[in-house]
Amino acid sequence: MPLRKQTKTAAIYARVSTDRQKVDMQLHELRQFVARSGWNIYKEYIDQNYSGGNTKRPAFTAMMDAARKRKFDLLLVWKLDRLSRSLKDLIITLDDLGACGIDFVSYDNNLDTSTPTGKLVFQIVGAVAEFEKDIIRERVVAGLAAARSKGKRLGRPPISKYVYDRAAEMRAEGLSYRSIGKALGIDEGTIRKRFRKELQEAEAGRDIDQGGMLGH
């Protein structure tokens, strides 16, 4: 007796950037595609008025949580840019889905990671993204080296004495580095680094004084 093929369960994700845009057309086409494929719909996740560059979308977050719990077998979207407009974020999302054993189908792009061709396309996209990242890194390193060769000072500008004194007063009052940085418009790490430097110099000075006293 032949084994019965298990029916796949699909989650549908749709997104539009503004209130004036509608997801009706996306959902209509995707529902029909699911029916033609003989799948079942687990749930439809819809983000209305959310940019594709924003990864903190409520429906997107809920969908990824369900994927990690293996609530469905595959994720179906209208286009790749409905999932994300950032190539880096898109690669990370598809990697996460793959790690959970979830296949990905982009209807308009004709991409299905459950097929050999779809897997190859995804690997090529990932390789291109990694190549672009390496090129950007090389340009940054070359730019920094060129700036140093011209004697340019790199990094954040130093904190003025007035700002440091004010930060010291706020620190003495018990405020956190984050609160101080927010109040003075300075990066928290810069303040920490300056306080650490002042402390090290003060301790070094005490060591010298103590050494001099012992010498006498």
176 is catalytic: no
**204/176 same-domain check:** yes
* Percent residues over pLDDT 70 in the chain: 77
44 has a pLDDT exceeding 90: yes
Q: Comparing 12-26, 42-56, 152-166, which segment has the lowest mean pLDDT?
A: 152-166
**For the segment 62-100, what is each residue's pLDDT rounded down to a tens digit?**
999 999 999 999 999 998 888 888 777 888 888 899 899
Does residue 1 form part of some domain?
A: no
Higher pLDDT, 54 or 4: 54
Check 17, 37, 86, 179 and give the catalytic one.
17
**16/54 same-domain check:** yes
pTM, rounded to two decimals: 0.58
> pLDDT at position 133, please?
64
Does residue 55 form part of some domain?
A: yes
**18/33 same-domain check:** yes
**136/146 same-domain check:** yes
Q: Comparing 49-58, 105-114, 151-160, which segment has the lowest mean pLDDT?
A: 151-160
Q: Comparing 12-16, 74-78, 102-106, 157-161, which segment has the lowest mean pLDDT?
A: 157-161
**For the segment 154-213, what is each residue's pLDDT rounded down to a tens digit?**
555 566 666 777 778 777 767 777 777 777 777 777 778 877 776 666 555 554 454 554
CA 147 to chain CA mean position, Å: 29
CA-CA-CA-CA torsion for 62, 33, 85, 96, nearest 10 degrees?
50
Does residue 136 form part of some domain?
A: yes
Distances (CA, A) of 136 to 140, 141, 149, 174: 6, 9, 20, 42
Does residue 73 form part of some domain?
A: yes
Does residue 95 form part of some domain?
A: yes
Contact 7, 38 (CB under 8 A): yes
**94/109 same-domain check:** yes
Higher pLDDT, 2 or 39: 39
**102/127 same-domain check:** no
Domain membership of residue 126 as a residue range: 116-154
HSE-CB of 58 using CA atoms within 13 angstroms? 4
